[in-house]
Homo-oligomer: A and B are copies of this chain.
Amino acid sequence: MQAELNVSFDRLVAFIREALTVLGLPAADAKTVATLMAQADLQGSDGHGVTRLPQYARRIKAGGFNVSPNIRVVRDHPGTALIDGDNGMGHLVMKRAAEIAIEKARITGIAWVSSQFSNHAGPASLYASMPLAHDMIGLYFAVGNANHLPPWGGLDMLLSTNPIAAAIPAGNEWAIVLDMATTVAAYGKVKTKALRGETMPEGWMIDREGKPLTDPKRAEEGMLLPLGGMEAGYKGYGLALIIGLLAGTLGGAAMGKDVIDFNHDDGSVTNTGQAIAAINIAAFGEVDVFKSSVDRLIGDLRGSARIPGVDRIYVPGERSHEIRERRSSDGIPIASALLQGLDKLAGELGIAKLI
């Protein structure tokens, strides 16, 4: 166990915001990115929140992000738009994309906004959830920022863990929010296993002979298995491919060989692609009726008889909602190794430490 200190959401936002401002982002943009990054931590998406700040800072210093991008619509139809992110931070690009999708879907019933020249934007669920407040369903697709997945049967890592997220509003219940990588395990989980000196379960990775790889320190020798694993991994491969085509190729963003590994390259333009869809529930029926149906379904799922040993049945997103509530009152835990990195960054930028 690492020692942890807790920090409030507001303090975390303020810290990230100050760092990004010193790094050159305009005040409004720094606030937007800081809020979204801290929301990632608040909901337990720890791999996508403040832990990314040192990397983002390195990337800004290396010229890999444009700190004053001209984010603009370059193709426009009643139900679609293509946004050029001008290599700005992905959070800014995708927040804009979500806003446009929501406005269009009010009129058309559904809207789809794709990005090009965007960047890593944090957890998919943040953007898929933006339409919820407007009684809309949100869908989000992204090309991951590093290729760790070969085609089924192959060795060349041409695909990423391309995530899909979906958010469905409920009535009295929390919204259903799915956010999943299309591999069995996300690469971040492998790195965590390595840090902890643990072995991986069979089924997360295979080596170049196709045999199970369970030593996370040998991860560089292996490949992630697509969702479905040895038995049905061709399905996860298919999903990762389709999501990449929808989020990347459709909008003229990088896909396949063109994807930049942004963990090992701070300077190159990634041309990251994402896509968000907003579906206006009112275009299909009464919103209250829909929400009641979702509530009833959640109740049925939760009330299902359980396999012996299972304490509780979860609905996608429920754990994140609970973490958000808990951390909103108790604060957000910051692991000591992360805090050291943030302290170092604060020193470099000449700002107050987080804690």
Binding site for B on A (CB under 8 A): 75, 77-80, 82, 105, 107-112, 114, 137, 150-156, 158, 166, 168, 176, 178, 180, 184-185, 201, 203-204, 206, 208-210, 227-229, 231-232, 234-239, 241-242, 245-246, 249-252, 255-257, 277, 279-281, 283-285, 289-290, 293-294, 296-297, 300-310, 312-316
Contact = CB atoms under 8 A, between A and B. Distances in A.
Contact of A108 (B80, B150, B293, B297): B80
B178 A251 contact: no
The 7 closest A-B pairs by CB, nearest first: A80-B109, A77-B109, A79-B108, A154-B304, A156-B304, A153-B310, A210-B307
Contacts of A237: 316
Among A110, A184, A289, A310, the one with the most B-chain Cβ atoms within 10 Å of its Cβ is: A110
A311 to B, nearest CB: 8
A176 B245 contact: yes
Contact of A304 (B155, B241, B281): B155
A154 B304 CA distance: 6
A231 B183 CA distance: 11
Contacts of A137: 245-246, 250
Interface centre among A75, A176, A245 (most CB of B within 10 A): A245
Contacts of A156: 300, 303-305
Nearest to A291: B249
B316 A155 contact: no
A151 B304 CA distance: 8
Copies of the polypeptide in the assembly: 2
B75 A283 contact: yes
Contact of A155 (B114, B249, B277, B307): B307
Contact of A242 (B150, B178, B245): B178
Nearest to A82: B284
A313 B283 contact: no
Given A75-B284, A80-B109, A229-B228, A245 B294 contact: yes
A185 B229 CA distance: 12
A245 B310 CA distance: 25
Contacts of A255: 293, 297
A242 B166 contact: yes
A79 B136 CA distance: 14
A139 to B, nearest CB: 8
Given A80-B109, A227-B232, 4 more contacts: A158-B297, A176-B241, A184-B232, A241-B316
B297 A256 contact: yes
B155 A305 contact: yes
Given A154-B313, A252-B284, A297-B249, A307 B111 contact: no
Contacts of A110: 79-80, 110-112, 277
B228 A306 contact: no
